[in-house]
Structure 1
Amino acid sequence: MASIVERPKADGTITFQVKWREGGGRTDPGQTERFGDRPSAEQFKKLVDAHGQHWPPGWVRGEGFVEQPATPGDMPFEQWATRYVSRLTGIDDRTRDDYYRDVRLHLSLLQHTEPSGRVVPATICNLVADDIQDWVRLQEDGLPDPEKPEKWERRPADPKSIRNRHGLLYCVVQAAVEAEPQLRTKNCCKSTRLPRVDDHTDEEMTFLEHDEYARIRLEIKDPAARDLADWLVGTGMRWGEATALMVKDISLTGATPTANVQRAWKRAKKGSTKSFYLGPPKTRRARRLVALSPDQADMVRRLVAGQPPEAFVFRAARGGEWRHGNYYNRKWVPAVKAAIEKGLPKRPRIHDLRHTHVSWLIAARIPLPAIQIRVGHESISTTVDRYGHLVRGLDDEITAAVQAAMRGGVPHQGLHAVRDAG
C-alpha cells in the first residue's frame, strides 16, 4: 500500500510525500507525489490504493487531474475494425464473414496499457506498439483455464494464424492513418515481432513420391474419383478450380491441349440457401491456361464426350459436381487409410496433391517462374517461400558455377603458379 512521509523544508514548512511502488511489487519502480497538506495527501493515497498501486487515470504528476482531450473521431477499436471490414470491396461474402469473425474473436482481445500501468479498453487512437506485442504474445501463449489448468480457455494459435490475424490488424490500423481527417500519424503494427511460421516441428505440406501416390491411387476404387485425383496431382490445380472446370473450358485442338481456369467454388455466406457458389479464382493470376499432357488430354476427351458446354468435366456418381466433404470422407480417406495399412509412411491431404505436383516439377528442374504461372501463384515469392527448399537438384550446377566464379576463369594449373608467385 502507499504511504505518506512528512518532508520538512528549510523555511520550516512541511510537505507530505505519497510513496508507493508502481504495481505493488517489491521490485517495481518507486513513485512519489508531493502535497502541501495532509488531507490532500491522504485523498491521493486512497486513489493510488484503489487503483492497485498505479497512478490514478487522468492524474498528471505535479498538476493533479487534467482532462485529456479525446481525439476527434476516436472510437472503440472493435467498432472501428468492424466498420473497416464492412467497407471493404473486392472480397466475397464468405471472406467478409471470416474477417468479422476474426475481429470478434481475436482482434477484440486488444487492450491498451497506459504509462501508469493501468489497462484500459483499446480504441483506434490509443493503441501503441507494446499493446500489439502484448496481443501477439497472448495469441502465442494462449490462456489456460483458471479452474482447470490442464484445459484451455483460449488455445495457443499457430504462427500462421497469428500472422494472418496480424495482417488484418495492420490493415485496420492503416485505415486510421490514411483516414480524412487523419486519426493516427503512424501504424503501431509496423514493427511487430511475429512468431516464425517454421518454429513448429509438424510439416504443413506433404510431398508424395511417384510410387507413394501410386499406392493411394490403387486404393481409389471409384474410376471417377480416381480420374479427379490424377487430375489434381497432374495439373496442380486447387480443388475448387478443378471441380469447377466445364466442358467449354477445355481446348483439345492445336499443338498443346489446355484447360482454362476461369472460376472456382467459393463458400457461401452463412445462412445462404447453398453452401457453395461459383466465383472467380483465388487471385488475378489464378486465371490461367494449364497445358495438358497427352494422357490428360485423352482423359478429358473421354470425360467431355457428348456433354453440353456448361457440364462439369469431373462429375460425381449422379452427374453433379463433386463436393469436397463427400470426396474426402468417402473416397480419399478410405484410400489413404488402406495405403497406410499396406506401408504408406505418410498421411497426405487432398491439397497435398497440389504440393506434390510442384515437387515433381522441381525434381524435373522446371524453373520456379514457370511453376508460378502453372499453379497460379500471385507472386513468385509465394512459390519460392513455399517450395524453394526443394530446389536441391541444381546443387551440382550451383557449386560448379561458384567454383568457376571464384577461379575467375584462371585454369586450375594456373592457380598454383599464381599462388607460388605470391
Structure 2
Amino acid sequence: MAGLERRTTNGGKTIRWRVKWRDGGRRDGQQVSRTFDYQADAKRFRTLVEAAGERMPSPEQLVEHGFTALLPAGVVAPAPEPVQEKLTFRAYAEEWLGTLVKPHPETMRKYRERLEKHVYPRLGDRPIVEITRREMREWQQGLRDAGELGRTRPGELPAGPVSAKTIANIRGDSVVPIFTAACRPGEDGEPAVRTSNPMDGLPLPEGPRAERDILESPDEARLFLEAAYAVDPEAADLLLCKLATGLRWGEVSALPPRAVNVARSTVSIVQVLRKVNRRWVVEPKPKTKQDYREVPLPASVMRMVAERVAAASREQGRQFVFVAPRGNHWRYEDFYTDRLVKIRDLARERGLPRRMTMHGLRHSLLTLLATEGVDLAALRTMAGHASVTTTMNVYVHATRRHHEPVRQIVGDFLGVEKLAAAGR
C-alpha cells in the first residue's frame, strides 16, 4: 500500500508531502515516490496509485486528475475530448414540436404559447437529462402559488397564479409528452436522452379551487334571462340557447342555419369560432370527434331558433343563427363588454346572488342534468368531452337542491316529531 509522509525542509519552514510505494506492491519492487506541495493533492495521487495496483497512473489518468506535471519525459498529454454541449429542454421541445403529425394550427399555437410563457422561463436552458422530479414539483407549485414563472421577458410583471386546470393542460398537452419522447430511442436507433420521466407519479399541486357560479334554480334562471331580454333581446336569444344546450362560446356564436334540424328539434356542431393570432375566425369543422355532436333543444327554445333560421333564409348573406348588430358573428370581447356585463349587473340588482360568466351557463346546464340523473354517457356526449371524468370533476357542481328532500327523509327516519308529540 502506498504511504504518505510529511516532509519538512529549509529549517522546518517549508512542509511538503511525499507519496511512496513499491512498484506492483511487491517487496522486491522498485521504490517510487512523488512529492507534492499540498496534502490534498498527495492524497488524491495516492488513491490513483492504489487503484492502479501500486503503479504509476497512466498518462490519461494523470491528465484527467490534474497531474500533467508528473507525465514522463517525452510523453505528450493527450488532447482533452471536446466538451459536447448538453441538450437543453428548449432545444428538445422544439424538436418534439416538429415531429407532431399534422397538428391543428390552433393546437400548435397554444402549445408554443404555453411553453414560452410557463415552461421555458424556468426549464428552457436546463439540460433535459438533468431535470429532476423535485424541479418539476417546484415548477408546478410555483405556477400555482405566485405566477412568477409566467414572465415572458426579464423585468415583466408576473402573470398571476395559474389555475390547476391550466397546469394540468400544460402538463398533459406538452410537458409529459416531451419527457416521454425523451425516454424513447431515437428514430434512427439513437439511445434515449433520458432513462426516466420526472413527471411519472407526480401529482398536481394542491390548492383552493374556486367554485364557478352557476344558476341553481328556475327562479335564478328566470332572473338572469329576464335581465338579458331587458338589456338586448338579440343577445338574450344567444344566451338562452347557450344555457339550454351547454354549447361552448365558439360553438354557439358560429352556429349556422344548416346545423339546425327543426324536425328533430336539435342543433349539430358542424363549425366553430376560434381565436387565432388575436383574430376570431370560423373553422369549417370541429377540432375533435367528440366536439362534433347533435344536441337536443326544448320546444320553447327550438321555436326561437327556428324563427331565426327562417329569418336567415330571408336575409341574403346571413351565415349565422345569432348575429351581432352589423350582421356578422359576435366577437366575444364585444359581447362580454357591451352585453354580458350589463346583463349580469342588472340581474344582481334584481336579486340574483351570482356573478355569472359565459362558461358558467355551460356549467349550470351540465350540473342540472347530472342532478336530475341523466345517464353519464349522455352527459359526456352533451358536453363534448372525451372522458366523463372531465364532465363530472370539472363541470358538475354541488347544489342545495337536495337539502329539503334530505331534511324530509332524515326527519322521517328519526321520528323526532312523533317523539315530541308522545312526550306531550
TM-score (norm 2): 0.68
Query: How far apart are residue 286 of structure 1 and its match?
Result: 1.4
- Provide the aligned length of Structure 1 versus Structure 2: 335
* Contact kept? 2:212, 2:360, Cα under 8 Å: no
Write the letter of the residue equivalent to 1:266: R
- What is the aligned counterpart of 2:193 among 180, 183, 187? 183
Please name the residue that 1:37 is paired with. Answer: 36
Q: Cα gap change, 1:99/1:236 in structure 2, threshold over 3 Å: closer, same or farther?
A: same
Query: How far apart are residue 252 of structure 1 and its match?
Result: 1.6
Query: How far apart are residue 269 of structure 1 and its match?
Result: 2.9
Query: How far apart are residue 389 of structure 1 and its match?
Result: 5.4
Please name the residue that 2:308 is paired with. Answer: 303
- What is the aligned counterpart of 1:99 among 86, 91, 111? 111
Q: Cα gap change, 1:152/1:102 in structure 2, threshold over 3 Å: closer, same or farther?
A: same
CA RMSD of aligned residues (A): 3.8
- What is the aligned counterpart of 2:337 among 302, 309, 329? 329
Q: Are 2:247 and 1:243 aligned?
A: no
Query: Structure 1, residues 208-235: CA drift from partner, whole Å, max 9, x if none?
Result: 4221122122122322111111100011
Write the letter of the residue equivalent to 1:37: F
Between 280-289 and 303-312, report the one with greater CA deviation: 303-312
The gaps in structure 1 that reach 5 residues or longer are: 1-8, 17-34, 45-59, 113-120, 146-150, 401-422
* Contact kept? 1:250, 1:259, Cα under 8 Å: yes
Q: Cα gap change, 1:141/1:225 in structure 2, threshold over 3 Å: closer, same or farther?
A: closer
Query: How far apart are residue 387 of structure 1 and its match?
Result: 4.4
Query: Structure 1, residues 41-94: CA drift from partner, whole Å, max 9, x if none?
Result: 4899xxxxxxxxxxxxxxx9xx747989978x9522112212322443454323
The 5 Å alignment of 1:402-417 reads none
Q: Cα gap change, 1:93/1:370 in structure 2, threshold over 3 Å: closer, same or farther?
A: same
Higher share of residues assigned helix: 2
Q: Does the residue aligned with 1:329 lie in a helix, a strand or coil?
A: helix
Q: Cα gap change, 1:38/1:141 in structure 2, threshold over 3 Å: closer, same or farther?
A: farther
Q: Which one has a bigger Cα radius of gyration?
A: 2
Please name the residue that 1:6 is paired with. Answer: none
Please name the residue that 1:202 is paired with. Answer: 210
Write the letter of the residue equivalent to 2:135: D
Query: Structure 1, residues 179-215: CA drift from partner, whole Å, max 9, x if none?
Result: 332322321221223213xx21522453442211221
Query: Structure 1, residues 12-42: CA drift from partner, whole Å, max 9, x if none?
Result: 44798xxxxxxxxxxxxxxxxxx97334848
Counterpart Cα distance in 2 of 1:250 and 1:128? 52
Counterpart Cα distance in 2 of 1:317 and 1:155? 35
Write the letter of the residue equivalent to 1:157: V
Q: Does the residue aligned with 1:157 lie in a helix, a strand or coil?
A: coil
Q: Are 2:146 and 1:136 aligned?
A: no
Q: Are 2:287 and 1:275 aligned?
A: no
TM-score (norm 1): 0.68
Counterpart Cα distance in 2 of 1:323 and 1:188? 41
Write the letter of the residue equivalent to 2:126: A
Write the letter of the residue equivalent to 2:106: R
- What is the aligned counterpart of 2:360 among 337, 348, 352? 352
* Contact kept? 1:365, 1:393, Cα under 8 Å: no
Quote the sequence identity (%): 25
Query: How far apart are residue 312 of structure 1 and its match?
Result: 1.0
Please name the residue that 1:338 is paired with. Answer: 346
Counterpart Cα distance in 1 of 2:132 and 2:196? 10
Query: How far apart are residue 291 of structure 1 and its match?
Result: 1.5
- What is the aligned counterpart of 1:287 among 292, 305, 324? 292
The gaps in structure 2 that reach 5 residues or longer are: 8-15, 18-33, 44-60, 68-79, 150-155, 410-424
* Contact kept? 1:129, 1:192, Cα under 8 Å: yes
* Contact kept? 1:110, 1:131, Cα under 8 Å: no
* Contact kept? 1:362, 1:390, Cα under 8 Å: no
Q: Are 2:175 and 1:169 aligned?
A: yes
Q: Cα gap change, 1:360/1:65 in structure 2, threshold over 3 Å: closer, same or farther?
A: farther
Counterpart Cα distance in 2 of 1:143 and 1:250? 43
* Contact kept? 1:205, 1:352, Cα under 8 Å: yes
